[in-house]
Amino acid sequence: MISRLILILLLAAAAISISEGATDFPHGPRPTQPVYDPAGVLTPDAAREIAEPLVELRQNDGPDVIVVILPELPVDGPAQAANRIAAEWSDAPIWCVVLAVPGNADSPWIIPSDTLDGRIPPQEIERLTARAHRRAAAQPTEPQKIGTAAQEATEMISDWAIRAKNDRETLLTESVRRQLEREARARQWKIIAMFAATAIAILLGGIAWLIARLRARQPVYFPPPVWRTRLGGNHAGGNYVVVELKAKS
């Protein structure tokens, strides 16, 4: 029983190691220069000439252009291969991979990052990429094709990165402006609400005071008449009474 359990664990470990080995990136870590040429298709001077503008472009968090020269086209196609290379080698938000396979009639391929979607019109990306590919493919030698493709990719991706950044800053500025307007309107409505509440409170207080005053008032009656007798007046009770006043001796 124990031996069977050990055998099962060994088989599971072997399967895990095989699956991990199958998913390993075949090209290893990123080279120090943005030109990967394991077969040495380019001379050192040509590789350095291609790499220098790419290094300069990448400085200060700029877009990343990587030139990859492979002996054969990966089975998953140029687009998938470029995305995998960028995922392993680049941490830039905007990148472009120039994939070259010497001897292939469709080489080189220029694959920009999908992060440009929504910022640059897809029709423009497709049109300019196709134009850059035609210019590169028209060159007579493989080094010239690769160099032209790298130059075209650098110009395109730098322009797109600037436009994407400006669009993002414009959107942020517009968002901030709208937020400030919303806050200003909220403050205005708050002040209006405070004044309205104060006015309503004063009005209700006045009405309550008036009602209280009206309820506190007593009914008003005419004062009772004061009856005084008058000599010779009607109903005086002493009509025709003569009083003689004698002189005091």
Which pLDDT value is given to residue 98? 94
Structural domain of residue 36, as residue ranges? 23-166
What pLDDT shows up at residue 2? 47
**CA distance readout (Å), 89 to 21, 97, 109, 185:** 18, 11, 18, 48
Structural domain contains residue 97: yes
215 is a domain residue? no
Report yes or no on 96 lying in a domain: yes
CA distances from 217 to 24, 33, 220, 222 (A): 98, 100, 9, 16
Query: What confidence score (pLDDT) does residue 138 get?
Result: 93
3-state secondary structure (DSSP) of residue 16? helix
Q: Is-contact 36 50, C-beta < 8 A?
A: no
pLDDT at 190: 86
Residues 43, 143: contact at Cβ < 8 Å? yes
Q: How many domains, the chain?
A: 1
Q: Is residue 204 part of a domain?
A: no
Q: Determine, yes or no, domain membership for 28.
A: yes
Contact 152, 127 (CB under 8 A): no
The answer to the question of residue 101 being in a domain is yes
Q: What pLDDT, on the 0 to 100 scale, is given for residue 176?
A: 57
Do the domain assignments include residue 231?
Answer: no
Give pLDDT, residue 244.
66
Give the domain CATH number at 115.
3.10.310.50
Instruction: Give the model's pLDDT for residue 179.
Output: 66
In a domain, 108, yes or no: yes
Is 65 within 8 Å of 98 (Cβ atoms)? yes
Mean pLDDT by 10 residues, the chain (249 residues): 47 45 67 91 93 88 89 90 90 89 92 78 89 93 94 89 68 55 79 88 87 73 67 53 63
With beta carbons less than 8 A apart as the criterion, state whether 82 and 99 touch: yes
